[in-house]
Amino acid sequence: MINGTIEEKLKSLGIVLPNVSDPAGKYANFVIVNGLMFVSGKGPSGHPKGKLGNEYTTAQGYDFARNTGIEIIAVLKDALGSLDKVKRVVKAQGFVNAEPSFEEHHKVLNGFSDLMLEVFGDKGSHARSVFGAVSVRDNLPIIVDSIFEVEV
C-alpha cells in the first residue's frame, strides 16, 4: 500500500479483526495453490439466524456481508501474517439466505465488495457472483466464498 500498511488502513477505518473461527465441518479455513488463496465460506460473526426478506432487510444484509468480509480478512491475516501479502481480491461468491420473492441479493453482497475496496484499494476490485439460497448452514443470512491472489 502506498500510504502505509493494510493493518494501518484497518485501524483508520475502526476495524478490529476478530479471532479466526474454526471451520463448521471437516475442511480447512483456506487452501493456497499457485499463489491463489481459496477461503472457505464464512458467515457474519455472532451467528445471526434468518432470511433476507423475512427476518432481515437489505440494509441489514449489507451489514452482514460487510461483517463477513471482516471475518475473511481475519483468515487472511492469520494465514499470511501480513495483509500486505494480498496482491488482489480475485473473486467472491455470495450465498444469500432469502425468502423466494427477495430480489436484492446484489445489494446485500455490496457490503462485502465495498469493504474490499475500502481496505485494499484498487486491489480490492474483484469478479463476483451472488445466489439466493433456500437455506444455508446454521440458517445464517449470508455466506461468502472468496479467492485472493497472495504472495507466498
Query: Which pTM does this prediction carry?
Result: 0.95
112 has pLDDT over 60:
yes
Q: What is the pLDDT of residue 2?
A: 46
- Each residue's pLDDT tens digit, 15-41: 999 999 888 889 999 999 999 999 999
Domains annotated for the chain, with CATH where assigned, are 6-13+40-150 (3.30.1330.40)
3-state secondary structure the chain: CCCCCHHHHHHHCCCCCCCCCCCCCCCCCEEEECCEEEEEEECCCCCCCCCECCCECHHHHHHHHHHHHHHHHHHHHHHHCCHHHEEEEEEEEEEEEECCCCCCHHHHHHHHHHHHHHHHHHHHCCEEEEEEECCCHHHCCEEEEEEEEECC
